[in-house]
Homo-oligomer: A and B are copies of this chain.
Amino acid sequence: MAKYPSQPKHLTALELPLPPRSKLAPDLQKYFAVCDAKIGFLPNVLASYTFDEKKLRAFIGLYNDLMLEDSPLSKLEREMIAVVVSSANRCYYCQVAHGQAVRELSGDPALGELLVMNYRAARLPRKQRAMLDFAHKMTVAPDEVGEPDRAALRKAGFDDRSIWDIASVAAFFNMTNRVATAVDMMPNEPYHSANR
């Protein structure tokens, strides 16, 4: 039977001139080499941005600050938000890539599926459920978010710094989901089978 014929072969649906990696600035080449080493491949989202180094750097700058820097939220919590937001927006790229991250960081393959499919079906601690409810509402009804929603987070045990980070991570994936879908960005195939 055919292997992966249903996933489009392109990086994105746009024709943009992507330079070979050897033509990128040295620090970017080095950054990509770190990706190769840690992830095993260069995530397609990064390759997609190489048509413009300034845009690539701006994206990396924001991504790394939100997902990798110190935060009251664990990396798993941030990835859980990423998947719930991406599921609500039905972004294929981000559900694949961050679903894998949740499976890896949690050691719980079902958790990745639950958050992709319907996070409400998951058995979660109240605090994490409150966090995901807030991220979900921000995604599907941003105009209705208000003080009662912030109060619910505080009641669940989050301080204001944590609320900022929940909001920022959920908002970030509302951005990247839309870029990825708008340009039909395709995820790297190894994500599919990893950590199952």
Interface residues, chain A, CB within 8 Å of chain B? 1-8, 13-16, 51, 54-55, 57-59, 61-62, 65-66, 69, 87, 89-92, 95-96, 106-111, 113-114, 116-118, 120-124, 134, 138-139, 142-147, 149-150, 160-161, 163-164, 166-168, 170-172, 174-179, 181-184, 189, 192-193, 196
Contact = CB atoms under 8 A, between A and B. Distances in A.
Contact of A182 (B7, B89, B171, B189): B171
Contact of A184 (B58, B61, B109, B121): B121
Pairs A-B, 7 closest by C-beta atoms: A1-B107, A90-B143, A175-B175, A167-B182, A171-B178, A92-B121, A14-B160
A164 to B, nearest CB: 6
Contacts of A109: 4, 192-193
A2 B46 CA distance: 32
24 contacts: A6-B111, A6-B123, A6-B124, A7-B111, A14-B160, A14-B164, A15-B160, A16-B164, A55-B168, A59-B62, A62-B62, A90-B142, A96-B113, A110-B189, A113-B192, A118-B143, A120-B143, A121-B181, A121-B184, A139-B178, A143-B181, A170-B178, A174-B175, A192-B196
A160 to B, nearest CB: 4
Nearest to A185: B121
A176 B182 contact: no
A108 B1 contact: yes
